[in-house]
Structure 1
């Protein structure tokens, strides 16, 4: 018992120290960067607002959501707080400005997060289609993966192609050098990441796992995650020469050895430092590598930070 208490005390000290590290960084470095003061007048149509003819795919800083379809996961007030990473529906995330969705599924096509399940993938698809029907120039990256520890849904690639075929931008390295206008009326880059089934092939309507990469670390320590994000981003080529999407996640994850296990208070340790992170990307010379930036519980300020930097790139200010 004594060693357990001692361990918990040390863990709480480490978390407190790391939270202070980010506060100090904010106070000394601030959160300014090119485009920091830009706010889209219509987040639902922010890509259209930047002029699709001018926006190259590789200049976009894509605001994304982590574990996107968890707004109704588990049992309210019982298991949901341990797995819920978003409070908004897929449709409302897109309306708010998210353009990258992270969907985890299991064999029966139910969306899941670990052992907890929620609605069918059909709900996600219908929300995406509804959003696309109400907009004209917004491009979405839809990542669907089989959750760790689960089996692939049978014939799932066929399902995705049947449901989304008219919107799908086919797997093609040339996409990275095109503008939004050149891709329209196609609207979805769909990355399918099965665990055991064959990966989508070159030229397929679906994109393989190698086109969406990240370096996720499992920690609830905010400064550790912040520094890891910077380190791994520094190792990537600039977006101008990259033929894959690279994601940084402004999140931390509850740990079993810590008494705070609910997602929201844990990820809140890093949630408010998205603009500080972009500031540090510029300070350290990594800003030309930032591309997909994802978060838990997405809000307007996070979207505006990503859109603002995109605007600065499009206008030649970053």
Structure 2
């Protein structure tokens, strides 16, 4: 018992030290980078505000959400705090400026996060369609994967094609070098990641899992995650020379051996350091590799941070 208590005290000290490390870095280095003072007038249409004929897909810094469809997961006040990573619906995330959605499904087409289940994937699809009907040139990356430990939903690829077919941008490596205007009226890059079923084929309406990569670091230590994100990002080729999307997740994850297991207070340890991360990318010479930046509980400032860097790239300032 004493050993366990000692271990917990050491863990709490590590977390406190790492939070202070990031805060100190923010104070000493600041969060300035090209485009940091840009704020879109209309986040619902922030891509349109940058002009669709100027934005190349591989120059966009895409604001994304982690475990996007968990706003109503589990039982309120009981299991929900342990799995809820977003408080907004998919539609309201998109209105706020999110452009990369991360959805996990199980065999019956219900959205899940581990063992906890929420609404059916139809809710996600309908929210996406509603947003697209209200906008004209916003592009979305919709990633759907079968959750770990589950079987693929039967005929799910066919279902996605039937539901989203008119909006789907077909899998083609040339898409990365095109402008949004060249892709319209198509609006969705849908990445389907089954666990056992065949991957979507080149030229088809859905994209295979290899087109959206990341290096997930499972930790609740904010500086450890921050530094690991920088290292893995620096190992990537520049965004303009690769034919896949690379995601950095500005999140930390509750750990079973720590008494704080609710997502919100844990992820808050790193949430406010997204702008610092971008600034450090410039300081370390890897800002040209940054492409998707994802977070829990997305807010306006996070969206603005990504839109601002996108603006700077379009204007030739970054």
On whether the aligned pair clears a TM of 0.5, the verdict is yes
Q: Any idea what the Cα deviations from partners look like across 1:54-100, whole Å, max 9, x if unmatched?
A: 00000000000000000000000000000000000000000000000
CA distance in 1, matches of 2:237, 2:193: 23
SS in 2 for 1:230: helix
Q: Cα RMSD between the aligned structures?
A: 0.3
Q: Which aligned pairs between 1:7-18 and structure 2 lie closer than 5 A?
A: 7-18=7-18
1:226 and 2:246 are equivalent in the alignment: no
Offset at residue 272 of structure 1 (A) = 0.2
TM-superposed deviation, 1:267: 0.2
Describe how 1:95-134 pairs up with structure 2 within 5 A: 95-134=95-134
Q: Aligned pairs, how many?
A: 318
Q: CA shift at 1:240, angstroms?
A: 1.0
* Gapped regions of structure 1 (runs ≥ 5): none
Q: 2:215: which partner in 1?
A: 215
Alignment partner of 1:239 is 2:239? yes
Q: For each residue in 1:205-231, what CA deviation from the matched residue of structure 2 results, as whole angstroms up to 9, or x when unmatched?
A: 000000000000100000000000000
Aligned to 2:287: 287
Please show how residues 251-266 of structure 1 align to structure 2 within 5 Å: 251-266=251-266
CA distance in 1, matches of 2:279, 2:256: 32
User: Which residue number in structure 2 is paired with residue 33 of structure 1?
Assistant: 33
- Residue 173 (structure 1) shift: 0.3
**SS of match in other structure, 2:123:** helix
1:131-176 superposed Cα distances (whole Å, 9 cap, x missing partner): 0000000000000000011110000000000000000000000000
Note if 1:169 corresponds to 2:169: yes
Q: Where do residues 140-155 of structure 1 align in structure 2 (5 Å cutoff)?
A: 140-155=140-155
Runs of 4+ in 1 over 4 A off after TM superposition: none
Question: For 1:72 and 1:242, how far apart are their aligned partners in 2?
Answer: 36
Distance in 1 (CA, whole Å) between partners of 2:117 and 2:178 is: 38
Consecutive unaligned residues of structure 2, counting only runs of 5 or more, are none
Give the deviation of 1:125 after TM superposition.
Answer: 0.1
Q: What does 1:18-97 align with in structure 2 at a 5 Å threshold?
A: 18-97=18-97
